[in-house]
Chains A and B, each alone.
Chain A
């Protein structure tokens, strides 16, 4: 083998290596660029593929995708129990625990580590935090200074006053889910009532906003209203992909994904009405012993376990009922109190974020106060 041959072989190997690299790097994190992630706030969270964490930034009017670089599956069964996670975060960032607000909780579906979005402070200067909680109970912060990331803007409102420092209108992202290559984002405005569900292809392209559509649902009988979606999950019924969406006060609505087309007004079908004076917080659909269930955490009603077998068989709620509650039957899990968030850990268990009731009146205690704990439970 002469020198020329050696060089050719080396060149060939380099090409092969480059090809292999391209194949690996063409994953979803390839669209994310390293650098400082500019987050003004950290609200709703959702996991995408390959450890990508989507962060809803209400003040920044954007969604930021972060590469957590956390894609190692755990060995064995995971259980995460941390007392005073707010106290630990406060200690890391140097404030009193009551200055930490935890906004959302999600489980990395690959590594099973828990991720929290939080803020350091309670006013406009509050700093966004993304905390990671491992199975060993270690609490660390995701560094946002040098992280692979990408963002998509959700701002669509003109400034009321060009001289104003900031647009007073703000979209609050209530929930996000990654479904079949799209990030679905539910939001509501602090000005107009009309609300939208956006479907944003990921990887993000040219900061486009994605398809916006309006979701309607029937109330009982004659009237139909548009409402902000508080929390939603992808759900399959008889092979058809749906979104199950929970609204304020508290209809549970199923919407076929096939109808979620750009610019459409879509009517969802109300399959359960869980009662008034309440807001749904999080939902987990799961199977146990051959039956389908959905856990729903609520502000006022606690954690409900919906019996979700044969959801297709429930007729839309179309007549006033004597009691508040109608449609799909459920049990209230009385042992689970003050649950602020819940997320599925694996097929057998869920992670809860639990605090103490806030200082408001019993019918509206307000945000939980610390110490705030993370607890793993077996799916009931």
Chain B
């Protein structure tokens, strides 16, 4: 009896070894396949993952999420999330009844480490910034990684020493393509009356020179550094505390029958992205189609129509939310002296500047 049992165990062990020898794990058509082993007809009580699992991390981590199928007598694991560059995949098969697990590792797709991204432009683009400049827009040539602004953007004084507390910490506002980053100068130092404004002064000191640098090591969305860094010198100018007044804007009208640009000049630099969408040209039939360009350090807005101008009356329809570089909108300055209507309703949203093409 005892001898028989031992023999049976030996046969079993030999059989398991044979199974283990012939089992192999392959990566085919984007899925992990166990071959040389016949899966049972139904899923084991502890799930297929108790037999076969694929891991991406090291140490005591849960297996990758995915789903199992049995096809042509093979167990196949399909990843829920796509393969990622630079990841090691460890596929582990546990033979039935125990025994040494069979492991095989696979590499994710190769990582393209060629730098392509760079800073294309920044706004404000002028050499002089008001000491209460509110926002900084950085345009990149390629999608970038989030979470790097704190380490990569620097403001230096005229001696090259880094200035702390210029930008608001912990805030990265991206466009959906991650090619434009909006940063905010610390509003606590801009708003009059706040203690940090009174104790530290504005982030940009009037009359002082400073330099904005952006490190080349900023990773793009693939995790690859840029082709080059960025550097721009500025000078601090006087603060701007008044709402932009469209009545003070100079309109240069085009000649009829031409597609000359209509030009609008502002006394101070305006918010570049808002200039792209907050001014419309209308005639009696509605919006006039055309393209917008912004020039002269955001003090000029130009509109080139698709069709030649006709003799007649036109209007510029300007959203009251349009802001200058210091966050003063047509509707209200960034901070206001007296706010005597504590609760009032928001009224008209636009102002109109009529012009004629003659």
Contact = CB atoms under 8 A, between A and B. Distances in A.
Do chains A and B interact in one complex?
Answer: yes
Contacts of B65: 92-93, 141
Contacts of A324: 195-196, 199
A181 interface: no
Secondary structure dominating the interface of B: loop
Contact of A264 (B82, B169, B338, B343): B343
Interface residues of A, number: 87
A223 B329 contact: no
A219 B271 CA distance: 24
A124 B178 contact: yes
A249 B186 contact: yes
A165 B339 CA distance: 41
A347 to B, nearest CB: 30
Nearest to A189: B173
A79 interface: no
A380 to B, nearest CB: 23
A69 interface: no
Nearest to B220: A123
Nearest to B182: A190
A134 to B, nearest CB: 13
Interface in B318-352: 321, 323, 327, 329, 331-332, 334-339, 341-346
Nearest to B142: A123
B151 A366 contact: yes
A168 B81 CA distance: 27
Given A160-B277, A168-B273, A324-B196, A277 B56 contact: no
A290 interface: no
Interface string B128-163: 000000110000000111111111000000000010
Given A91-B56, A126-B146, 12 more contacts: A99-B223, A101-B146, A123-B146, A160-B276, A166-B177, A222-B192, A223-B191, A276-B189, A300-B169, A321-B195, A359-B151, A367-B146
B62 A91 contact: yes
27 contacts: A87-B59, A88-B57, A88-B61, A90-B57, A91-B57, A94-B64, A95-B56, A125-B221, A157-B277, A170-B175, A170-B176, A190-B180, A191-B273, A194-B329, A216-B339, A219-B193, A223-B192, A224-B336, A224-B339, A248-B187, A263-B345, A278-B188, A320-B198, A324-B195, A324-B196, A360-B151, A361-B151
A90 B110 CA distance: 19
B292 to A, nearest CB: 9
Contacts of A193: 134-135, 323, 327, 329, 334
A341 to B, nearest CB: 12
Interface in A123-180: 123-127, 139, 141, 157-161, 165-170, 172
Given A190-B175, A223-B337, A320-B195, A91 B180 contact: no
A201 interface: no
A30 interface: no
B81 A214 contact: no
B170 interface: yes
A192 B321 contact: yes
Contact of A91 (B64, B164, B182, B339): B64
Residue with the highest number of chain A CB atoms closer than 10 Å, among B80, B222, B339: B339
B84 A94 contact: yes
A121 to B, nearest CB: 7
B176 A120 contact: no
A125 B174 CA distance: 13
A121 B223 CA distance: 10
Contacts of B273: 160, 168-169, 191
Contacts of B337: 222-223
A227 B87 CA distance: 43
A128 to B, nearest CB: 12
B193 A220 contact: yes
B61 A87 contact: yes
Contacts of B144: 123
A100 to B, nearest CB: 11
A265 B148 contact: no
Contact of B342 (A101, A126, A267, A363): A267
Contacts of B186: 249, 276-277
Interface in A262-285: 263-267, 273, 275-279, 281
Residue with the highest number of chain B CB atoms closer than 10 Å, among A157, A192, A263, A322: A192
Contacts of B193: 219-223, 320
A225 interface: yes
